[in-house]
Amino acid sequence: MKKYFVLLLVGLLVLSLSGLATAQELTGNDVLENVEESISADTAQITFSMELHDGDRVRNRKLETYTMDGPDYDKGKVRFLEPASVEGTGFLTRDPHDSDDDDMYLYMPAVGSVRRIAGSDKNNSFVGTDFSYNDLSLLGGANYDDDYDATIIEENDEEYLLEIIPTDEEIEYSYGKMWVQKSNWFPTKVEFYDEDEELYKVLENEDIKEIDGYWTAGQMTMSDVQDDTKTVLYLEEIIYDEQLDPRLFTTRNLQRY
């Protein structure tokens, strides 16, 4: 009996050391994959309130977003609800799984037609916010592992610090730094650097909580440190994994309100 317990203790020690080694052997890309797996739902319907800060000036907007993970590509749609000056403005993205070339489309009611966004235009400001069109794919935390390669540069008991390098040549950032919580694989902060390796933008996720099994940020702030502006998104409502009509993610539907 004593020999049995000795063997059992040795076995448990080996298992614990094996688990520790596995954790230590994680690569930066492994961490990015865990980030996406922890927060990627089949579908999501989200309502945000938005604040645009420029010095003492604050403008308010309201928008809704829809996302769907499909077998061939992921789809996302953004539509502004308020105020009247941007009401009905819509954005559509379709991200093929086997390509870095996302299809992006913008609809502005004042123009009355859908415009495809291509090339360097994807780095332009999205409707006057501090998010570029490329940045919008990061709102839910997805696409990091598709669009970036990562290296772990620091680690402590609570989080990883990654250096992320864009693999998509249409992303304007030269590199970034990402802080990821170990407890839930959620990125709390991302710094983006320009081609001169100067700090350009900072994305911060706050009020992180679990909703229907998915880790979710209650507040997201994108700050442009060079222009001293910021855009803050406040989560108002979110519904995960409710069936959505695929026709919602078409350019024809983008023109409907």
What pLDDT is attached to residue 24? Answer: 55
Q: In the predicted model, is pLDDT for residue 185 greater than 60? A: yes
CB burial of residue 126 (10 Å; 0-12, 13-18, 19+): buried
pTM: 0.85
Q: In the predicted model, is pLDDT for residue 19 greater than 70? A: no
Domains of the chain: 27-254 (2.50.20.10)
Contacts of 56 (CB under 8 A, 6+ apart): none
Coil/strand/helix, residue 198: coil
Residue 18 CA to residue 122 CA, distance in Å, equals 45
Do 249 and 75 meet the contact criterion of CB atoms below 8 Å apart?
A: yes
* 24, two tokens: 């230590």
Q: Which of 125-139, 162-176, 191-205 has the lowest mean pLDDT?
A: 125-139
Q: In the predicted model, is pLDDT for residue 8 greater than 60? A: no
Residue 171 CA to residue 111 CA, distance in Å, equals 27
Q: In the predicted model, is pLDDT for residue 169 greater than 60? A: yes
What pLDDT is attached to residue 191? Answer: 97
Taking each continuous run of H as one helix and of E as one strand, the counts in the chain are 4, 13
The DSSP call for residue 129 is S
Q: Which of 18-32, 42-56, 72-86, 190-204 has the lowest mean pLDDT?
A: 18-32
For the chain, what percent of residues have pLDDT higher than 70?
Answer: 84
What pLDDT is attached to residue 192? Answer: 97
Q: Is the peptide bond before 187 cis (omega within 30 degrees of 0)?
A: no
* 200, two tokens: 């350009």
Q: In the predicted model, is pLDDT for residue 139 greater than 70? A: no
What pLDDT is attached to residue 143? Answer: 65
C-alpha dihedral, 30 to 38 to 242 to 70, nearest 10°: 0
Q: In the predicted model, is pLDDT for residue 202 greater than 50? A: yes
In which band, very low, low, confident or very high, does the pLDDT at 15 lie, cut at 50, 70 and 90?
A: very low
